[in-house]
Amino acid sequence: MSNAENFLTGYLDAWRTVDADVVRSIFAPDAIYRGRAYDTEPDEGIDAIVAMWDDEQDAPGTWSYEGGVIEMETADAAVIRGTTSYTEGPKQGVYDNLWLVRFDGEGRATEFWDWWVERKH
């Protein structure tokens, strides 16, 4: 599997389980995580990313993800496209996502940037 495919599989597993070990396995120790296109204060470092995942976790069964189409991929970076649907809660709705992920030599993300937009009916 490619770095992008491994990352996507791990990311979805981490999202489902909110398991700190899974999060740590897909992000480099000095990774930068931007959860929004306009994120001027990203989470920096694996401990901050794990804490953010714990604080912002989505309840099990309230979301689904479709896609994972690799728009562009090299060994060092990938652009991943998908759709996230939330069935309940404050995020309820459908969101189109475009992720920029940069990788280190071990295939872990050094930078993650999520551009998302909510679909309007």
- The pLDDT, as a whole number, for residue 74 is 83
DSSP 3-state of 55 = helix
- The pLDDT, as a whole number, for residue 69 is 65
Query: How much helix, strand and coil, in percent to the nearest 5, is found in the chain?
Result: 25, 45, 30
How confident is the model over 40-57, as a mean pLDDT?
94
Reported confidence tier of residue 68, pLDDT bands at 50, 70, 90: confident
Reported confidence tier of residue 70, pLDDT bands at 50, 70, 90: confident
